[in-house]
Amino acid sequence: MHSTNVHHIVVLPGDGIGPEVTAEAVRVLKASARSFGFGLSFETHDFGGIALDRFGDPFPESTQDACLRADAVLLGAIGGHRWDHEKGVRRPERGLLTLRKSLGVFANLRPVTVPYQLATRSPLRVERVAGTDLLIVRELTGGIYFGIPRGTGFNTMCYTEAEIACIASVAFRWARKRSKRVTSVDKANVLEVSQLWREVVTTVHRDSYADVTLDHLYVDNAAMQMILKPRQFDVILTANLFGDILSDLAATLPGSLGMLPSASLGGRTGVFEPVHGSAPDIAGDGIANPLGAILSGAMLLDDLGEDAAANAIRHSVSDVITAGLRTPDLGGTSSTQEIGAHVERGLVASADARLIGHDT
Ligand code: NAD
Ligand code: IPM
Ligand code: MN
């Protein structure tokens, strides 16, 4: 799929803390390319509120064209109070939905891990959250976000059997690489669309993935279970809106939304973005946690087949956390740039050590 060893990345920093955290992700990606001997080229484009200001469109054609040509899209965050009065296609958030739809990235992967070093930062008790390792597989290009008709005061939640079967297969395949358990989350006690969801997930499971354990939870109970016993989950399969809500809830487990990365896959070009938004309350202060963005960079490298570099980034992030170097959301005093620089340094040092190890 990616024929050359120079991967072309389109960077969409966006609004608020988006540019602050993507700058650190790009810094770490560049260092990983140098250390691991592959090429990365970067091209930056306006997207979201800033693009609305400059072009009258949150997802202008020039940005669309660049994304369609890219090997991967690295995204910061979009939106903010300045554009909150905008409606319909002028909303920055709508630009993000169009980006996802036009790239066909229907599968949004949101891993949530709670290493022991971070468990003390959780508002939940350490013994409850430490060791959590779950993956939310969120359907991303359908459901109530896109359902028609939509208009003032109403939206439509709808899924076709094909859409459900596609996202279910993604969840089952990921479960096979993990602990082989899928929990499908729906609202089948009330919504007809969820009844179809449950039926199709059950059929796909029976026909093709019977080696994986499947169970079903209603979304209200799933929200409670995630806080009560987060370690019970392996892969959580769910619809667009439920996945959006559950992933911010899951951010309480490691103690900060700033920790969570994501990958949106399913088309030719993947989109890699932290789960958080533009954080207007801290934008411009230089204190946003860049680790969600940096770890999204690692997921981007996974997708491009640069596994060693991706793992090295994850190791360096883990070392930085263990060393107690943290932004204020995790109780530390480091700046966004300091954390980026520490991750970069750790990555380069471990790559150098590896080379020396090979020589001797
Ligand atoms: P948010 O995720 O921006 O912020 C929620 C809270 O988490 C805030 O207190 C914020 O300071 C904190 N936070 C978020 N990321 C952080 C980080 N990296 N480091 C430290 N703290 C962090 O959610 P919101 O305030 O509801 O939304 C703000 C804007 O962002 C809205 O316009 C919304 O539509 C948009 N948004 C965009 C995306 C995206 O671009 N993918 C995602 C979510 C929200
Ligand atoms: C997310 C965000 C987006 C979503 C918004 C900004 C459109 O909250 O990626 O989680 O709801 O998908
Ligand atoms: Mn969200």
CA of 313 to the centre of ligand 3 (A): 24
Active site residue 244: yes
Check 15, 46, 71, 145 and give the catalytic one.
145
CA of 197 to the centre of ligand 3 (A): 21
Backbone angle region of 114, left / alpha / beta, with phi > 0 → left and psi within -120 to 50 → alpha: beta
Over 274-341, what HEC string results?
CCCCCCCCCCCCCCCCCHHHHHHHHHHHHHCCCHHHHHHHHHHHHHHHHCCCCCHHHCCCCCHHHHHH
**Which residues lie closer than 8 Å to 160 by C-beta, 6 or more apart?**
142
Q: Tell me the best of 20, 83, 276 to mutate to test the pocket of ligand 1, counting ligand atoms within 8 Å of each CB and taking the most.
A: 276
Name the nearest CA neighbour of 251 among 291, 214, 299.
291
pLDDT, position 3: 44
Q: Tell me the best of 87, 257, 264, 272 to mutate to test the pocket of ligand 1, counting ligand atoms within 8 Å of each CB and taking the most.
A: 257
Distance CA 19, CA 12 (A): 8
Each residue of 2-11: pLDDT tens digit? 445 899 999 9
Decide: 346 and 31 in contact? Cβ < 8 Å: no
Please identify, by atom number, the ligand 1 atom nearest to the C-alpha of residue 93.
Answer: 34
Name the nearest CA neighbour of 205 among 232, 177, 173.
173
Helix (H, G, I), strand (E, B) or coil at 24: helix
pLDDT, position 8: 98
Tell whether ligand 1 has an atom less than 6 A from the beta carbon of residue 51.
Answer: no
Decide: residue 4, CB within 10 A, 0-12 exposed, 13-18 middle, 19+ buried.
exposed
CA of 300 to the centre of ligand 3 (A): 19
Burial 199-238 (b: 16+ CB within 10 A, else e): ebbeebbeeebeebebebbbbeebbebbeeebeebbbbbb
* Amino acid symbol at 258: G
CA of 15 to the centre of ligand 1 (A): 10
What is the pLDDT tens value at each position of the chain, 360 positions in all? 444 589 999 999 999 999 999 999 999 999 999 999 999 999 999 999 999 999 999 999 999 999 999 999 999 999 999 999 999 999 999 999 999 999 999 999 999 999 888 999 899 999 999 999 999 999 999 999 999 999 999 999 999 999 999 999 999 999 999 999 999 999 999 999 999 999 999 999 999 999 999 999 999 999 999 999 999 999 999 999 999 999 999 999 999 999 999 999 999 999 999 999 999 999 999 999 999 999 999 999 999 999 999 999 999 999 999 999 999 999 999 999 999 999 999 999 988 888 787 643
Distance CA 308, CA 306 (A): 6
Decide: 39 and 7 in contact? Cβ < 8 Å: yes
Each residue of 46-90: pLDDT tens digit? 999 999 999 999 999 999 999 999 999 999 999 999 999 999 999
Note if the bond before 230 is cis, omega within 30 degrees. no
Active site residue 215: no
Report phi then psi at 329, rounded to 5: -60, -25
Tell whether ligand 1 has an atom less than 6 A from the beta carbon of residue 328.
Answer: no
Active site residue 145: yes
Check 57, 187, 234, 329 and give the catalytic one.
187
The sign of the dihedral angle between the CA atoms of 53, 59, 60, 62 is positive
Distance CA 246, CA 244 (A): 6
Write down the pTM of the prediction: 0.97
DSSP per-residue string spanning 211-252: TSEEEEEEHHHHHHHHHH-GGG-SEEEE-HHHHHHHHHHHTT
Q: Tell me the best of 84, 93, 98, 105 to mutate to test the pocket of ligand 2, counting ligand atoms within 8 Å of each CB and taking the most.
A: 93
Name the nearest CA neighbour of 51 among 102, 21, 26, 86.
86
Residue tagged 């709670």 (tokens): 114
Helix, strand and coil content of the chain, in percent to the nearest 5, comes to: 50, 15, 35
Decide: 300 and 109 in contact? Cβ < 8 Å: no
DSSP state of 124: S
Active site residue 220: yes
Distance CA 135, CA 69 (A): 29
pLDDT, position 358: 60
Name the nearest CA neighbour of 122 among 248, 255, 230.
255
